[in-house]
Structure 1
Amino acid sequence: MNVKKLLTIAALGVLVASCGGARDISGSKAQKADLPTIGELAGPLANVEAKKLFGTKSMPTAQSSAAYGSYAKGCLAGGVELAESGPTWQAMRLARGRNYGHPELVDMVTKLSQFAAQQPGWNGLYVGDMSQPRGGPMLTGHRSHQIGLDADIWMLPPNSLSLTRSQRENISSISTRRASGAYVNSAWTRSHHEIIKAAAQDPRVSRIFVFPGAKVQMCDDERGNRSYLNKIRPWYGHHYHFHIRLACPRGAQGCVDQTPPPAGDGCDDARQWQANIINPPKVAPKPQKKPAEDPQPRRELVLADLPAQCKAVLDAN
């Protein structure tokens, strides 16, 4: 089959690839979608590590905004920059170039910052990593944050919203955990609860990742409607920041949603995480493996692993 015909097939979106079965940072399986992968259409770049291609792009594309692929295997067309500073937010670690996202994410974060500015002790939000200008795998750090629908919000209440670029590189967030994440520490406040609750109540949000002790504390403290707690999921780390994940925008073609959380408020599950931290389950020792049987490091994604649309995103102006 010639290249022209392949390109036509790709444009029609009838090539099928099972990119929805990959696990992302929540540990739950993404929904399966019929998305073509780049494969042989990528030409000489097919086997180049995708992070080396997307991680060097400093500008978004002029395409219509679209998220392609899944949170941990995809890219972002028409990304929007979260302004470095606003009335109620500042983007942090600007040297990373990760203050970009789908327009829905930028809108959600800025509105959440306005709510945060009304909370005692908060002037707004310090916004950590979102996505690169064109999404895709990052040179360092996250496996997710690839399609412009993830954002990390610092646990540190902003004292100043006029930090210089240099200050934003050197200031650190605060940890809100103790006992390895089984409980919150004295830095945790009711304002943290209310800000995370407000984020979860936004219908565009599908999940929020926090450390187990924070979820348990929110479960214990909530006296009103508990339905939003379903979206707040315990996960490793996430004590210096909480992680917001939006669902695929309505009508998005080629965006792969994560499987919805189980029904219920999820509090029993969080308490089980907490119990396992306090009293780790006893695990029988594994038999000694020969060196040749040692697991291999996880393979880096190459351009050919990504949805076919990501080649156009990479090449676009």
Structure 2
Amino acid sequence: MIEARAPDPRPTSELMRLAKEDPRSLGSASIGSPTRGGLWGGVEMKDSEGIVRAGAYGWGTESVILSIERAVREVRRCHPDSPKLYVGDIARERGGWLRPHRSHQSGLDADIGYFYKTGSVWYQRATAENLDLPRTWTLIRALIEGGNVEMIFMDISIQRLLQKYFETLPEAERPQADLFESPLRKDALIRHTWGHASHFHVRFTDPAAVKLGQRIGRELQRIPKPRPPKPAPRRIKPRAR
């Protein structure tokens, strides 16, 4: 379970002062909506022992990045010989429109690859022949258990493969039957969307980041992006004479 950050109770004037003087102390702000929004104080997803960045834009709220990293660690704990996982687009550093996506604007959406039997692959259509179901389910389960997943968009063909895989699990390890979308349940956690047979799309929740965006989002977007610190000058050793 990801520990949720509580909304900041300080007055708006104090938040704005900190945004200019000590922005890291505020954490992330998710501004607007996933389809018309922005991001402030985001964290960039980095390549790591278990993750390979596939997207050009890997910025999200701190909670989103931590959630993905935690889920991948869980896969590697349960399956020690797992290949690296590709993670696609999340958001731009300051959010906003990100071609070709409709969403991915406020730091709460992430495109995540599947695990394949053939090793690390990005944007390959998953099938019964190549999809690594145990690792893929462990990944999805770990994301859901983080407690901050609002919905997952996944092609119906992949949902059916997972449902068939669940039949092989001990009854105590099977998820609830209403996890997937059905004609009688359109608001299920995992929903069908075309174009998601090569990866799945996770929409996260981050109440503290959303609340901060609601309070001072417009003001935050007017603050210029801070310049990176200048590198320290190189000290050149004098030549021996």
For 1:250 and 1:220, locate their aligned partners in 2 and report how far apart those are by CA, in whole Å.
Answer: 37
Q: With structure 1 as the length reference, what TM-score do the two structures score?
A: 0.52
State yes or no: 1:236 paired with 2:183. Answer: no
The CA deviation at 1:151 is 0.8
| 1:42-93 deviation digits (Å, cap 9, x = unpaired) | xxxxxxxxxxxxxxxxxxx86641101111011011011112x212112124
State yes or no: 1:215 paired with 2:156. Answer: no
Return closer, same or farther for 1:240/1:121 CA change in 2, 3 Å cut-off.
Answer: farther
Q: What does residue 309 of structure 1 align with? A: 217
8 Å Cα contact 1:200-1:207 kept in structure 2: no
Q: What does residue 74 of structure 2 align with? A: 115
For 1:112 and 1:240, locate their aligned partners in 2 and report how far apart those are by CA, in whole Å.
Answer: 19
Query: What's the secondary structure of 2:105's corresponding residue?
Result: coil
For 2:157 and 2:81, locate their aligned partners in 1 and report how far apart those are by CA, in whole Å.
Answer: 22
8 Å Cα contact 2:59-2:107 kept in structure 1: yes
Q: What does residue 50 of structure 2 align with? A: 88
Q: What does residue 187 of structure 1 align with? A: 130
Question: What is the one-letter code of the residue matched to 1:123?
Answer: P
Q: How does 1:1-317 map to 2 (within 5 A)?
A: 64-83=27-46, 85-93=47-55, 96=56, 98-117=57-76, 118-119=78-79, 122-138=82-98, 140-157=99-116, 159=119, 172-176=122-126, 184-190=127-133, 191-222=135-166, 223=171, 224-226=174-176, 228-229=179-180, 230-250=188-208, 252-253=210-211, 309-310=217-218, 312-313=220-221, 315-317=223-225
8 Å Cα contact 2:38-2:96 kept in structure 1: yes
Query: What's the secondary structure of 1:134's corresponding residue?
Result: coil
For 1:68 and 1:188, locate their aligned partners in 2 and report how far apart those are by CA, in whole Å.
Answer: 36
For 1:248 and 1:187, locate their aligned partners in 2 and report how far apart those are by CA, in whole Å.
Answer: 34
The CA deviation at 1:253 is 1.5
8 Å Cα contact 2:40-2:94 kept in structure 1: yes
8 Å Cα contact 1:70-1:255 kept in structure 2: no
For 1:248 and 1:106, locate their aligned partners in 2 and report how far apart those are by CA, in whole Å.
Answer: 11
Return closer, same or farther for 1:175/1:73 CA change in 2, 3 Å cut-off.
Answer: same
Question: What is the one-letter code of the residue matched to 1:186?
Answer: E
The CA deviation at 1:112 is 1.2
Question: What is the one-letter code of the residue matched to 1:173?
Answer: Y
Unaligned regions of 5+ residues in structure 2, if any? 1-11, 14-22, 181-187, 226-241
Return closer, same or farther for 1:209/1:100 CA change in 2, 3 Å cut-off.
Answer: same
TM-align CA RMSD: 2.9
Query: What's the secondary structure of 1:239's corresponding residue?
Result: coil
Return closer, same or farther for 1:86/1:66 CA change in 2, 3 Å cut-off.
Answer: same
8 Å Cα contact 2:43-2:60 kept in structure 1: yes
| 1:152-192 deviation digits (Å, cap 9, x = unpaired) | 112254947xxxxxxxxxx743111xxxxxxx431123222
The CA deviation at 1:106 is 0.6
For 1:147 and 1:88, locate their aligned partners in 2 and report how far apart those are by CA, in whole Å.
Answer: 25
For 2:123 and 2:147, locate their aligned partners in 1 and report how far apart those are by CA, in whole Å.
Answer: 27
8 Å Cα contact 1:73-1:144 kept in structure 2: yes
For 2:104 and 2:218, locate their aligned partners in 1 and report how far apart those are by CA, in whole Å.
Answer: 15
Return closer, same or farther for 1:120/1:220 CA change in 2, 3 Å cut-off.
Answer: farther
